[in-house]
Structure 1
């Protein structure tokens, strides 16, 4: 039996610890591993709240800033019990509740708060490994920059040399977020955290900012195996970015090429859960109305409350009669997800015009960057057939995947994407930008629709034209539309297949291949 430790920032296997797709992966992959008879421990920060339901397992003394910190290790109950899986959180007062989904923080000084809390978290995890709280580990699977400080400690910290004997795997979920901070002269800097360590600045340095270290780069440089969450995203990130036409390696393409040359870099498509959450059909608008009403009862901000009321009023007519066509999106409101809308709002207006001609509407659920929220709120006031649900609701999300006619995913880039998989499992065609993992999952006029272009203007033009094509097929070629729905429903992106690749490419342990730090 192999013994695994998963280290991440999110874990949807426990309550209230999910913001994005990372949480889904950390929920689903350990289940696949446990079904093979192996043991899995999963650990995330407590964010000053997740430990309340847990059982204290240990108090961990760690040294940071030449001060002894006391962090606490809790075992916490999962949503569902699975044999051979144990869930933990690390609690420390400086690992606070984030402003984004209760997990992440957004600072004027990039990554200031998050690097602080994930440094404490990773150091506490290293101490827990050293003390044997997870038993004798065979593999540590790390996820995104939030966990890569563990690799820094493994390589440079004399207290944690024991970690060098354990195989490490590093997963890149989103290369655009890298955890870049200065080496020194800052509360959240490497020299402040570890003032007595001799640092190899060249090995830690960000390729674009020579006075900074890069936690994403540490993961790529120091892990035994590195992987992206789709094959096409792997190919994308080996090339330099040329935004907005192409998003690639974001300054780390040389590190990724080196890892690829060494045989350490792989692209493995994420999977999806095909045990459908029971969702009743035709509940989208009742669920939106219920969510709006509940949110209004606890919303102290007058401007936000007024907009929620406005959204509720727009939903009322559809409680009795469904619109002829429902297009929908669910995503965090960021540049990655909706850059095309922000830069080219006229394209979105053209799409809404097309929908209006067929009696259709566009429902978009999400929260995120203030400028994107403001753009979409203003559009909602202007256009009757655009419903912007500016909150979070699992029931509305599930109904969007169940009840919509077309799922719209115009991501500027997409490492893998899970939304398109969730829509397709319900037989819902998707309209996507032909990038990253969306290339690997959606085929134009077979399982959905895709747009691309050599220039930004071409991409935007083709996005509108692809939307027009989808509407035309829906209206005038019912047989073709139904076949696309059927093809989408038949697609299976299973975690079993993904984890088979993990065992073959990432988890294979050959002592002769161990990279000595």
Structure 2
């Protein structure tokens, strides 16, 4: 039996421990490994809250800032038990909950200032736990994004943790744009302040643009035994330089990624999707679930500033309860540049889409919260356009209803390492219209399992997006057999974790899968 340790900032196998797609992966991959008959330990920070009902395992003593530190390791209960998977959280009072999903801190003045401190402490405590044998003899340590890459720094340079050199390290990239850049010196949240006795090589660790800083995303890419992007096409994208907004690629790390590829260490393996135990709403409840969500949000203190907008949305949705629209286009996503840049830069293109929908008695439903400027834009558009329903909040049952009852799921991401929304929509037999980039390229085939748009220049992309929308609407209205065929083909697609994890075993873990 092989023994794994997963180290990450979030884990959706635990309640209230997810901010994005990484949490899903850290939940699902261990389950698949457990089906292989192997053992997995998964560890995340406690963020001063997740350890409260946990079972205390051990104290971990280590040195940081020239001082003695003690952290506590707790075993915690997951939402669902699986054989051979043990979940842990690590508690230290300086690892606090942030303002993003009670996990990450948002430090606009000095990016990563608070998070770097949290993850310096967390990773050193994890290294100590491994050294102490808290998880038994480990074969593979699988790290996720920059929050866990400091273990590779400790493995390379820290006298106390040379034992880590005997273990194979795998590094998964979920969001290449967020790199964990901090100064080497002269700052409380700097490498030198937290590791004053560690002798390290600046050149090997530095960010190319800010040479007096460490780039922790780069550390993962440069030092891991295997580096993993969450789709094959995204792997190809990140080896090229970014030229925004037309193309988002390696985000200044393309040289490191090309080197990893030349050394045979870089692998693109598509994330899977869960096709079992699906929590599904019944069909026909989309409007009722919208109203329920709106009433709930109206009672929340934090949403008082937009009570007037929520009421406006409620009034709008009531009209559709009796007189159902003939076509629903939808999107569910965090409102960020990555997901909706095209709409923010070209709101007139989005208005064009709403006009096309109007002609076929269709509506556009968008659910999400996020960057204030995006929320503001969509609220404004909702006031101006009767057939745009913007549900500005979070509701699991409404999200399920949207995935279940949409006719066309829209995903115009600027870049997409893998994407899960398109898989969830396709699982329900709903075709998607996607930007032909990253994981969207690997999962949606134009005119076969959905619709795609692309272009050499920004203007070409926008034109192609509107043309793609026309093609979808035209097929829906005028060629029902072809539409049915696309729906069936979408529903048949299976992006299983079994397939993905078999590839992990072969490429990332380098085990025999027999």
CA contact (8 A) 2:298 2:304 kept: no
Q: Shift of the alpha carbon at 1:94?
A: 2.2
For structure 1, the residue ranges without an aligned partner over 5 or more in a row are 511-517
Where does residue 112 of structure 1 map in the other structure?
113
Q: Shift of the alpha carbon at 1:100?
A: 1.5
Tell me how far apart the structure 2 counterparts of residues 93 and 322 of structure 1 sit (CA, whole Å).
53
Give the 3 Å change call, closer, same or farther, for CA 509–429 of structure 1 in structure 2: closer
For structure 2, the residue ranges without an aligned partner over 5 or more in a row are none
Alignment of 1:21-420 (within 5 A): 21-108=21-108, 109-275=110-276, 276-420=278-422
Q: Which moved more, 1:356-365 or 1:450-459?
A: 356-365
Q: Please give the secondary structure, in 2, of the residue aligned with 1:402.
A: helix
CA contact (8 A) 1:15 1:78 kept: yes
Tell me how far apart the structure 1 counterparts of residues 160 and 471 of structure 2 sit (CA, whole Å).
61
Q: Which moved more, 1:451-460 or 1:47-56?
A: 47-56
Q: TM-score, normalised by structure 2?
A: 0.97
CA contact (8 A) 1:299 1:305 kept: no
Tell me how far apart the structure 2 counterparts of residues 317 and 50 of structure 1 sit (CA, whole Å).
43
Q: For residues 378-412 of structure 1, what are the alpha-carbon distances to aligned partners after superposition, in whole Å with 9 as ceiling and x for unaligned?
A: 11111111111111111111111111111100000
CA contact (8 A) 2:280 2:401 kept: no
Tell me how far apart the structure 1 counterparts of residues 157 and 256 of structure 2 sit (CA, whole Å).
19
Where does residue 514 of structure 1 map in the other structure?
none
Q: For residues 206-230 of structure 1, what are the alpha-carbon distances to aligned partners after superposition, in whole Å with 9 as ceiling and x for unaligned?
A: 0111111101000001101001000
Where does residue 513 of structure 1 map in the other structure?
none
State how many pairs are aligned: 510
Tell me how far apart the structure 2 counterparts of residues 299 and 65 of structure 1 sit (CA, whole Å).
41
Give the 3 Å change call, closer, same or farther, for CA 237–17 of structure 1 in structure 2: same
Q: For residues 21-74 of structure 1, what are the alpha-carbon distances to aligned partners after superposition, in whole Å with 9 as ceiling and x for unaligned?
A: 111111111011001110001111112221122111122223222222222211
Q: Which moved more, 1:337-346 or 1:44-53?
A: 44-53
Q: Please give the secondary structure, in 1, of the residue aligned with 2:299.
A: helix
Q: Please give the secondary structure, in 2, of the residue aligned with 1:327.
A: strand
Q: Please give the secondary structure, in 2, of the residue aligned with 1:62.
A: strand
Tell me how far apart the structure 1 counterparts of residues 302 and 240 of structure 2 sit (CA, whole Å).
47
Alignment of 1:402-441 (within 5 A): 402-441=404-443
Give the 3 Å change call, closer, same or farther, for CA 187–307 of structure 1 in structure 2: farther
CA contact (8 A) 1:167 1:509 kept: no
Tell me how far apart the structure 1 counterparts of residues 440 and 302 of structure 2 sit (CA, whole Å).
39
Tell me how far apart the structure 2 counterparts of residues 245 and 128 of structure 1 sit (CA, whole Å).
45
CA contact (8 A) 1:432 1:449 kept: yes
Q: For residues 186-216 of structure 1, what are the alpha-carbon distances to aligned partners after superposition, in whole Å with 9 as ceiling and x for unaligned?
A: 2211111112211200010001111111010
Q: Please give the secondary structure, in 2, of the residue aligned with 1:146.
A: helix
Give the 3 Å change call, closer, same or farther, for CA 47–310 of structure 1 in structure 2: farther
CA contact (8 A) 1:332 1:368 kept: yes
Q: Shift of the alpha carbon at 1:146?
A: 1.0
Q: For residues 163-183 of structure 1, what are the alpha-carbon distances to aligned partners after superposition, in whole Å with 9 as ceiling and x for unaligned?
A: 111110000111111111111
Tell me how far apart the structure 1 counterparts of residues 388 and 195 of structure 2 sit (CA, whole Å).
51
Tell me how far apart the structure 2 counterparts of residues 449 and 334 of structure 1 sit (CA, whole Å).
22
Q: For residues 458-490 of structure 1, what are the alpha-carbon distances to aligned partners after superposition, in whole Å with 9 as ceiling and x for unaligned?
A: 001111111111111111111111110000000
Q: Please give the secondary structure, in 1, of the residue aligned with 2:443.
A: coil
Aligned-pair Cα RMSD in Å = 1.3
Give the 3 Å change call, closer, same or farther, for CA 123–320 of structure 1 in structure 2: farther
> Which runs of 4 or more aligned residues in structure 1 lie more than 3 Å from their structure 2 counterparts after TM superposition?
none
Tell me how far apart the structure 1 counterparts of residues 129 and 316 of structure 2 sit (CA, whole Å).
52
Tell me how far apart the structure 2 counterparts of residues 9 and 304 of structure 1 sit (CA, whole Å).
31
Q: Shift of the alpha carbon at 1:301?
A: 4.8
Q: Shift of the alpha carbon at 1:300?
A: 4.0
Tell me how far apart the structure 2 counterparts of residues 311 and 122 of structure 1 sit (CA, whole Å).
45
Q: Which moved more, 1:19-28 or 1:45-54?
A: 45-54
CA contact (8 A) 2:291 2:314 kept: yes
Q: Shift of the alpha carbon at 1:302?
A: 3.2
CA contact (8 A) 1:180 1:214 kept: yes
Q: Which moved more, 1:15-24 or 1:481-490?
A: 15-24
Q: Please give the secondary structure, in 1, of the residue aligned with 2:364.
A: strand
Q: Please give the secondary structure, in 2, of the residue aligned with 1:56.
A: strand
Q: Shift of the alpha carbon at 1:320?
A: 3.1
Q: TM-score, normalised by structure 1?
A: 0.96
Q: Shift of the alpha carbon at 1:369?
A: 1.2
Tell me how far apart the structure 1 counterparts of residues 54 and 314 of structure 2 sit (CA, whole Å).
38
Tell me how far apart the structure 1 counterparts of residues 70 and 369 of structure 2 sit (CA, whole Å).
35
Q: Which moved more, 1:38-47 or 1:63-72?
A: 63-72
CA contact (8 A) 1:420 1:430 kept: yes
Q: For residues 60-108 of structure 1, what are the alpha-carbon distances to aligned partners after superposition, in whole Å with 9 as ceiling and x for unaligned?
A: 2232222222222111111111000011111222222221222222211
CA contact (8 A) 1:60 1:70 kept: yes
Q: Shift of the alpha carbon at 1:360?
A: 1.1
CA contact (8 A) 1:423 1:429 kept: yes
